[in-house]
Amino acid sequence: MPEAIRALKYSTEAWLALAILVLAVVWTIATPHFLTVPNLIDLVESYTVTAVLAMGLFVVLVSGGIDISFAATASVAQYIAALAAARWGWPPAAALGIGLAVGVLLGLINAVLIHGVKITSIIVTIATMSVYFALLMYFTGGKSIYDLPDWWSKRVTFYRTETAGGDIIRITLPLLVMVAAVVGTWALMNKTAVGRQVYAMGGNPEAARRVGIGIGRLHLFVYGFMGFMAAVAGLLQAHRVGESVPNAMVGSELNVVAAAVLGGASLTGGIGSVGGVILGILMLAIIQNGLNLIGVSPYFFQIVIGLVILVSTSATGLSNRPSRRSRRALA
């Protein structure tokens, strides 16, 4: 039992779960609208796109890299799929397929630049973010596509019921896509050799290379996976709003990064869990929802996002100090 309590003391997930519980109690006392089933389902559904993006970013962070271009990748993939579906008359499988293929391709370009040209991942992805988004705006003129076909824009509901108070509860397609993305990423990182190799590369890339792990191949996989998840998120976002707007996802990067680092994914690689990232997303969603319900300005939430990134990265840096001293002492 003492070992279990000690493990919980150093568990990011345990502290996040406790913080979420405290926040839920605070918001429940502050407003009667928070602890209702329709509000909680809306809260989760509003973060489905963020959760899918966070799964891709989580894998990149564990590998020791970072990707800032995912929102631009999602926008490009979404718009090309929308063109194929609404303008070129392609069938659903072909239109969605080209969107996913574009996402993977843009992710692979990042991987080639990072591994082949040996440029830092944050520099590469900031540059490609600018290039991808600028090309999208240049060729589209910033024009939105409002007439998406019904098979894409129509709400898909798998379960629907009405409470005694008249509230509607729905289990919709975005919720199931989010669950599939989370379960798939968890299985990838915990049940496959590739997942273990990604952790090894993020923890110590030189040691991973010496034991025969193909670093270049893993870079292609990790950034291709991020591109795939970005494309899925872009297609999902268009389904939720019923249109494709070129700049709709720009600016979502900080929320995704904040959720990942808040959930314990280290910016130095090798550390993190899917469960922690989900708890990080849930905590941000509860904070934003509670602030909205009590009438606080949405700008205040951006202050929270900035503080979350600052505090999380500072905690990571402080926790790494003893190990750095140890390595210097051994050198």
pLDDT of 36-80, one tens digit each? 888 888 888 889 999 999 999 999 999 999 999 999 999 999 999
CA separation (Å) from 312 to 126, 259, 276, 304, 316?
Answer: 21, 10, 13, 12, 6
Expressed in angstroms, the distance from the first to the final Cα of the chain is 38
CA separation (Å) from 191 to 180, 187, 223, 272?
Answer: 16, 5, 20, 15
| Residue 306 tokens, joined | 């900035």
pTM: 0.89
Separation between Cα atoms, residue 214 and residue 192, nearest integer Å: 15
At position 304, the amino acid (one-letter code) is: V
**Which regions in the chain score pLDDT beneath 50?**
324, 326-331
Cβ neighbourhood burial of 233 (10 Å; 0-12, 13-18, 19+): buried
Nearest-5° angle of CA 240, CA 246, CA 251? Answer: 80
Q: For position 211, what pLDDT does the model report? A: 85
Q: For position 331, what pLDDT does the model report? A: 41
| Residue 218 tokens, joined | 């893993």
Q: For position 269, what pLDDT does the model report? A: 83
Q: For position 30, what pLDDT does the model report? A: 87
